[in-house]
């Protein structure tokens, strides 16, 4: 295994996106027999930490946030929503012990804030820090050579511009650094910290004057394109890994039941815009799918049609080869695998009198793409300018390293604004 694979696989495992234990519970073997039994084929990228939900509000609502009412956490989800904030400024600090079933010293911290410049313009920024815990490097004889704590950082600057009363645009610029090896030599190759620059583009629609039957409320829609940037390299070689570029669509419906009670239902649909690994034989030749070693933009486009599907087998269990040297693929399996790359999250939020919130949600990822399937719960409190949110995750899959994940978020509203609560939901008249 080369150095790129060592680093990528280890990082993905530590942050939960390779989901090794879920893969074991899903099934054995790497090949499918029909379209109902697709092979395990997870998509791995560099720096997957930039996709981890940082805030407790979204963490309690099934990892949704693309169309939720604005807060400083919108810099992660959808910066354009900040244009609709009823607060002039806010600062939040989120913290989550991560993968506690695997290690006790992995954690994610997220500091975010924004300030309104005028009626149309909002600027903000965030700092994300991910510590992967202490790792001991040894030589071929097992002697300790260095003790290192791999860390990853993301610095983000965001800008939101309101087009009119209902539409807004957002843009983020990011700098990402990933120091996994402290420069040690791995298999004779020197290593270095990975560096990347990336951008997010977002769009929002918000209508605060909607009626659902006889109930007043609001309707929001958001779309974001995230983490579009250069590939990352950890060595002097030309091997580079994709950033976790992704596309998200979200909607949120808020029902103002009366002056004291409101309920929001939100749904997010997302997809990685990264090439899917092809099915390859022992010689490294592609049997189905496409070469993933392409540029960033071609890789984004290829991600919509490059799923390899399931190879057909004969009665002896051997792959069926065509006369031209290609292999037969089970009908419909490519399309099914493309659909399986779509992730869905949904959640509910209830607010009472701008003081107390209760939340719950569900997140679904296909079994052959990682099997992250979990329920989430949480609460929120606000007193004057201060707010606190808490969330808890329970997995629906056995041996999932994300089991029992908790998150905490503290919020400080530097200006009370008009009528927004600790999560940014507009309190009804």
The DSSP string of 256-313 is EEETTEEEEEEEEEEEE-SPPPPEE-TTS-EEES------HHHHHHHTTT-----B-B
106-120 pLDDT, tens per residue? 999 999 999 999 999
Per-residue confidence (pLDDT) for residue 364, from 0 to 100: 96
- Among the residue ranges 166-170, 186-190, 224-228, 353-357, the one predicted with the least confidence is 186-190
Strand partners, 361: 347, 376
Close Cβ partners of 104 (under 8 Å, ≥ 6 residues apart)? 97, 133
pTM of the model: 0.85
Rounded to whole angstroms, the Cα distance separating 39 from 279 reads 9
What is the SS3 assignment for 323?
coil
Per-residue confidence (pLDDT) for residue 188, from 0 to 100: 66
Whether the pLDDT of residue 243 is over 80: the answer is yes
CA-CA-CA-CA torsion sign (162, 163, 168, 170): negative
Whether the pLDDT of residue 319 is over 80: the answer is yes
More confident position, 383 or 159: 159
Across residues 214-235, what is the average pLDDT? Answer: 94
What's the mean per-residue pLDDT of the chain? 86
Regarding beta strands 342-352 and 356-364, do their DSSP bridges make them parallel or antiparallel, or are they unpaired? antiparallel
Whether the pLDDT of residue 17 is over 70: the answer is no
Local structure of residue 189 (DSSP, 8 states)? B
Domains of the chain: 3-412 (2.40.160.40)
More confident position, 98 or 38: 98
Per-residue confidence (pLDDT) for residue 417, from 0 to 100: 52
364-400 pLDDT, tens per residue? 999 889 889 999 999 999 988 899 999 999 998 877 8
């Amino acid at each position: 295994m080369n150095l790129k694979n060592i680093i990528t696989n280890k990082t993905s495992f530590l942050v939960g996106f390779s989901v090794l234990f879920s893969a074991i519970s899903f099934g054995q073997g790497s090949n499918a027999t029909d379209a109902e039994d697709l092979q395990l084929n997870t998509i791995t990228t560099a720096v997957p930490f930039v996709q981890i939900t940082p805030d407790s509000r979204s963490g309690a609502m099934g990892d949704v946030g693309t169309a939720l009412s604005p807060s400083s956490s919108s810099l992660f989800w959808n910066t354009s929503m900040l244009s609709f904030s009823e607060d002039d400024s806010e600062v939040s600090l989120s913290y989550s012990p991560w993968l506690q079933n695997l290690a006790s010293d992995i954690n994610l911290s997220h500091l975010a804030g924004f300030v309104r410049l005028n009626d149309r313009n909002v600027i903000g920024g965030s700092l994300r820090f991910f510590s992967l815990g202490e790792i001991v490097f040894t030589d071929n004889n097992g002697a300790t050579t260095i003790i290192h704590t791999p860390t990853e950082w993301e610095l983000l600057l965001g800008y939101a511009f309101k087009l009119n009363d209902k539409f807004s645009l957002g843009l983020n610029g990011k700098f990402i650094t990933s120091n996994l090896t402290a420069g040690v030599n791995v298999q004779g190759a020197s290593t270095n910290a990975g560096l990347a620059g990336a951008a997010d583009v977002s769009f929002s629609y918000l209508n605060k004057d909607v009626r659902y039957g006889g109930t007043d409320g609001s309707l929001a829609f958001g779309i974001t394109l995230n983490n579009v940037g250069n590939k990352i390299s950890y060595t002097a070689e030309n091997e580079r890994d994709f950033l976790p570029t992704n596309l998200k669509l979200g909607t949120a419906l808020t029902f103002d039941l009366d002056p004291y009670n409101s309920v929001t239902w939100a749904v997010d649909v997302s997809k990685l815009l990264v090439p899917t690994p092809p099915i390859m034989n022992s010689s490294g030749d592609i049997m189905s799918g496409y070469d993933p070693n392409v540029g960033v933009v071609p890789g984004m486009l290829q991600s919509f049609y490059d799923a390899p599907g399931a190879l057909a087998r004969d009665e002896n269990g051997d792959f069926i080869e065509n006369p031209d040297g290609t292999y037969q693929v089970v009908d419909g399996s490519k399309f099914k695998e493309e659909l399986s790359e779509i992730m869905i999250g949904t959640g509910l939020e209830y607010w009472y009198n701008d003081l107390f919130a209760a939340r719950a949600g569900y997140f679904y990822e296909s079994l052959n793409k990682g099997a992250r399937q979990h329920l989430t719960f949480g609460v929120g409190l606000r007193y004057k300018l201060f707010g606190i949110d808490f969330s808890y995750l329970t997995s629906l899959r056995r041996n999932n390293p994300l089991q029992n994940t908790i998150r905490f978020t503290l919020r400080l509203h530097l200006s009370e604004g008009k009528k927004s609560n600790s999560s940014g939901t507009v309190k009804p008249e």
